[in-house]
Chains A and B, each alone.
Chain A
Amino acid sequence: MNIKYKLLSFALLALAPGLLKAQVAPEIQLGARGVMSFNVGRTLQETTSAVNDFSDTGILLGFRQKMYNRFRGQLVIGMQFPDADSDLGQVFFHQTFLKIEDKSNILKMGRSRVRSALIEFPTLRDDDALYFTDVLNPFSSGENTEDNQYGNVFEAAHIFGQRTWLRIHGEHFTETPKPPATTETDFSLNAAGFSLQYRVPETQIWNRPFLQQLGVGFNNFLTNRSGYGSQWDQALKNLSLSTILNLKRDPVHFWDFRAQGIYNFGFKEVDQIDDFTSMTRTRSLSAFASLRYIYRKLERPSWQAAMSFGYKTFPDLLTTSNQVKSVANVFYRLGENFDIGAQVQYAQNKGELKNLLGKHEIRFQFALIYAIDRRWNNQFDDRESLLNLEHGYIR
């Protein structure tokens, strides 16, 4: 038996008695989200359709309990149905992490959402505007959008006061295996960064001010850039800025605006786009913004409409190249947690991007969405509950 497995066996034996005798029943959290859409896409060449696109449907299972001291510990395991054209298989385990946290500190290890975006946007699926909303993974072949969203993460966060978050994170972003290898074998650190965000907790939605969120993020991808010796020069650097503004914080007619810009410093030698990797490694500037309206009846959202617009330009390319994206959607709540929605997306690619992504595409989607978040054996409060935020934190 190899030494690694011997150590593992020992560790399991040492832990097993404790596990078997554990008396503390953890909190059990269940999150589930079903997104089923009928899609019709049209490009210059063809019209395609999907009777049922259930990508982004997933389930999250969490277990949480108090530690002996002030910390809380949590395990989250989650799986998701990836895009049909991905090579991730039928099911992708997108979340598998452990987290410990106290009032002001969080430590997280495992596979999870990477800090490639500072905020979320009101689109049907998380990756609908991925090229604009996320720092893109320069190690990926681009086949799987999940390569940009999920990775093996080590993250430490400190919260100053209640609203200012400093996060330092290191990741292993998925590297698309090169032939002849068929699976990824190297899981070393290939990205690191930090972010600083001011954000008003969601529980304080009705006493929050005009400024809901303001953030800055800095991501470094640790590449093997040829011709450069120092790690700094080899790093592909991205700077992100974001904000969310509550234009009208009315509980019945609520308006907000959100915007994020990503500047990819790029590698100056990449002056043409041959594939996804080169697209992620050339200098670019992207901006994405959304305007959202929510009508709330009986203290619950009743319907929502949003308009989003994105623009991305690649200044170092030999040919003038840019991307435009617009997304419009409306969702109507049929019942608690259950929505029906429609979305139309339009994407236009100019210059070298035409070859990679096509000149333009318009896509119509009609969807049913069901999302739940339940907790059993609830034993303690959350950091951002109103009681803990406004009436003294109980650890």
Chain B
Amino acid sequence: MNRRDFFKAGAVVSSIALAPQTLLAQETKASNQKRLPSVLNPQMDGDVKVFELFVDIYGQELVPGFTLHTLAFNNQVPGPEIRVNQGDKVRVIFKNKTELNHTIHWHGLHVPWRMDGVPYVNQMPVMQGQQFVYEFVAEPYGTHFYHCHWGTLLHMQSGMYGSLIVENPDDPVQKQFPYEREYTLLYSAHDVNFIRNELNSMLERMKERTYLMKNGRFNKERFAVFDSKEELVKAVKNGYQPPYVVNRRAPAELPEPNWFTVNGKSYPSTPNLYIRENENIRVRLINGGTEEHYLHLHGHDFWQVCDDGLPLPQPWQMNALRLSPGKTLDIIIEGKNRGIWTFHDHDIRKVTNNGLYPGGNLLALVYEDMPAEEADPGMMAKKMGLTSFPIVALDE
């Protein structure tokens, strides 16, 4: 066997190894549940729903064979889903198990300003070993999310985001498009080299700063934290070098994401959307990353029903939508065209893993009541030794 044949054989073996997990198999459907955000159960304290979140450094496997260090709520990327009813009193006890600083911002919720999670504006950062208790009333209803607001460029793409769903018993979407199943999909984009280098760099800096803070030696210039803009201006006039100048610490480039995830996974580990004929499913789309995504569903139109959690006066029918950073969009998919359909980012650069297509934001809408014979791989696939359809292909 020459070198080329060896690698061809290797590729086929890889496909076969993945192939038995057909999208219609029971075990695939069961494992799909793990690819959706787990719902965090609250403890009740009187009429207050109490949730506990912690953040720690966690090794997240984006796809088989590729793992990176992340900042993860409750050792999950994305963090667990917080699901409450409109008007619920909510308490979130947040513990910081890392050596870095963090806060939580409740994106889209009308919380008291001291609960908004912006460091040095609403609160002091939650430092190493500390905890902070957030309390608010869940308003308004709809699809929202939470994320860290400290070192946001790094911390969000490192995994610190999670869905927060505020339910309304009189949800107009439910009335217009009755549905029983819904899915939450959180999109993100990651420059894994930036994440790795910056996390290491921040960990080193924070060790040093923690040492000094413990000794009561906080220094405004060293920590780059000033009481006012005037104080900063004065310091610069006196020769202070802020971190953003090129002769101190500023990196030469902005991050360029090279991995794209849905619920913390890239294709082929992304979740699937299961549907039955004539069923409506609701899909809550959240962009917790820095990139725009142009999501296109094959073989169907769908209805956009909410924008930033707010119901649209008139649902829009479309088959591609733009999901911008910080946006949440809800769509209804009607089960009207049996089959297995691709639902993917039409900015194809984001359907890649480390630059290699296919990967990233690629997932499938699967009719689970599709007859098995329709998923037969066909004669050519069988000749190649493949046993199912669709086949997990990792290369062109």
- Chain A residues with a Cβ under 8 A of chain B: 17-18, 203-207, 249-252, 297-300, 335-336, 378-381, 385-387, 390-392, 394
Q: Please, how many angstroms separate the alpha-carbon atoms of A297 and B69 in the complex?
A: 30
Query: Does B208 contact A206, Cβ atoms closer than 8 Å?
Result: yes
Knowing A391-B57, A392-B69, A394-B68, the reply to whether A299 touches B197 (Cβ < 8 A) is no
Take A251-B212, A299-B208 as given contacts and tell me if A387 and B241 are in contact as well, using a CB distance cutoff of 8 Å.
no
From B23-31, B87-95, B144-152, B198-206, the one touching the partner chain is B198-206
Please measure, in the bound complex, the distance between the C-alpha atom of A369 and the C-alpha atom of B75, giving whole angstroms.
46
Assess the B211–A206 pair: CB atoms within 8 A. Answer: yes
Among B67, B203, B217, B248, the residue within 8 A (CB) of A386 is B203
Contact among B193, B196, B204 for A203, CB-based, below 8 A:
B204
B311 located at the interface, meaning its Cβ lies under 8 Å from any Cβ of chain A in the complex: no
Determine whether the beta carbon of A299 is less than 8 Å from that of B205.
yes
Q: Which 4 residue pairs of A and B lie closest in terms of their CB atoms, listed nearest first?
A: A206-B207, A386-B203, A391-B57, A251-B208
What would be 26 A-B contacts, judged by CB atoms less than 8 Å apart?
Answer: A18-B3, A205-B204, A205-B208, A206-B204, A206-B207, A206-B211, A207-B211, A249-B211, A251-B208, A251-B211, A252-B212, A298-B221, A298-B222, A298-B241, A298-B248, A299-B222, A378-B193, A378-B197, A380-B196, A381-B196, A386-B203, A387-B57, A387-B199, A392-B59, A394-B59, A394-B68
Q: How far is the CA of A386 from the CA of B98 in the complex (A)?
A: 12
Query: Contacts A298-B248, A394-B69 known; A386 to B205 CB distance under 8 Å?
Result: no
B151 CB, nearest partner CB in chain A, Å: 15
B238: which A residues are within 8 A, CB to CB?
Answer: none
Question: For the complex, is B247 an interface residue (Cβ under 8 Å from A)?
Answer: yes
Query: In whole angstroms, what is the CA distance A203 to B3 when docked?
Result: 41
A387 and B200 form a contact (CB under 8 A): yes
B208 and A386 within 8 A (CB): no
Which chain A residue shows the least CB distance to B196? Answer: A381
Q: In the bound complex, do residue B247 and residue A335 qualify as a contact, i.e. CB atoms below 8 Å apart? A: yes
On whether the beta carbons of A385 and B208 are closer than 8 Å, the reply is no
- Extra 6 A-B pairs, beta carbons < 8 Å, given A203-B200, A299-B222: A206-B211, A251-B211, A336-B247, A336-B248, A378-B196, A386-B203
In the complex, what distance in Å separates the CA atom of A380 from the CA atom of B59? 14
B222–A297 contact, CB under 8 A?
yes
Can you name the residue of chain A whose Cβ is closest to the Cβ of B215? A250
Min CB–CB distance A339 → chain B (angstroms):
14
Q: Which of B337-351 contact A (CB under 8 A)?
A: none
In the complex, chain A residues whose CB is within 8 Å of the CB of B205: 299
Q: Is the CB of A391 within 8 A of B69?
A: yes
CA distance A298 to B241 in the complex (A): 8
Q: What 0/1 pattern do residues 235 to 247 of B give for CB contact below 8 A with A?
A: 0000001000001
B211 with A391: CB separation less than 8 A: no
User: Which of chain A's residues have a CB closer than 8 A to the CB of B59?
Assistant: 391-392, 394
Q: How close is B110's CB to chain A, nearest CB, in angstroms? A: 36
Contact yes or no, A381 B200, CB < 8 A: yes
Nearest residue, chain B, Cβ from A393: B59
State whether A386 and B247 are in contact (beta carbons under 8 Å apart), knowing that A251-B211, A394-B59 are contacts in the complex: no
Interface bits B202-232 vs A (CB < 8 Å: 1, else 0):
0111011001100001000110000000000
User: Min CB distance, B209 to chain A, in Å?
Assistant: 8
Separation of A385 and B204 alpha carbons in the complex (Å): 9
Contact A394 B67 (CB under 8 A): yes
B276 to chain A, nearest CB (A): 41
Q: Please, which residues of chain B bring their CB within 8 A of the CB of A381?
A: 196, 200
Nearest B-chain residue to A386, judged by Cβ: B203
Closest residue on chain B to residue A379 by CB atoms? B193
Chain A residue nearest to B194 (CB atoms) is A378
CB of B225, distance to nearest CB on chain A (Å): 13
Whether the Cβ atoms of A386 and B200 lie closer than 8 Å is: yes
Contact indicator per residue, chain B 46-73, by CB within 8 Å of chain A (1) or not (0):
0000000000010100000001110000
A residues near B57, Cβ cutoff 8 Å: 387, 391
Nearest-Cβ distance from residue B352 to partner chain A, whole angstroms = 14
Q: Among B67, B207, B217, B221, which residue has the most Cβ atoms of chain A within 10 A?
A: B207
Minimum distance in angstroms from B226 CB to a CB of chain A: 14
A385 CA / B201 CA spacing, docked (Å): 9
Asked if residues A207 and B69 are in contact (CB atoms below 8 Å), the reply is: no
Which residue of A250, A336, A380, A386 is within 8 Å of B204 (Cβ)? A386
Judge whether B200 and A385 touch: CB under 8 Å.
yes
Closest to A375 in B: B197
Residues of B within 8 A of A379 (CB): 193
- CB proximity of B270 to chain A, nearest CB, Å: 21
Residues of B within 8 A of A250 (CB): 211
Tell me which residues across on chain A come within 8 A of B3, comparing CB atoms: 17-18
CA–CA, A336 to B245, complex, Å? 12
Residue of B nearest to A300 (CB): B248
Closest partner residue, chain A, to B217 (CB atom): A252
**Chain A min CB distance to B198 (Å):** 11
Partner of B69, one of A206, A335, A387: A387
A392 to B69 CA separation, bound complex (whole angstroms): 8
Least distance between B214 CB and chain A CB atoms (Å): 11
Q: Indicate with 1 or 0, residue by residue over B259-289, a CB within 8 angstroms of chain A CB atoms.
A: 0000000000000000000000000000000
* A residues less than 8 Å from B207 (CB atoms): 204-207, 386
Which residue from chain B places its CB closest to the CB of A395 in the assembled complex?
B67
List of B residues within 8 angstroms of A386 by Cβ = 200, 203-204, 207
Report the nearest B residue to A23, measured CB to CB: B356
Contacts of A336 in B (CB 8 A): 247-248
How far is B199's CA from A203's CA once the two chains are assembled, in angstroms? 13
B203 proximity list for chain A (CB < 8 A): 386-387, 390
Residues of B within 8 A of A299 (CB): 205, 208, 222
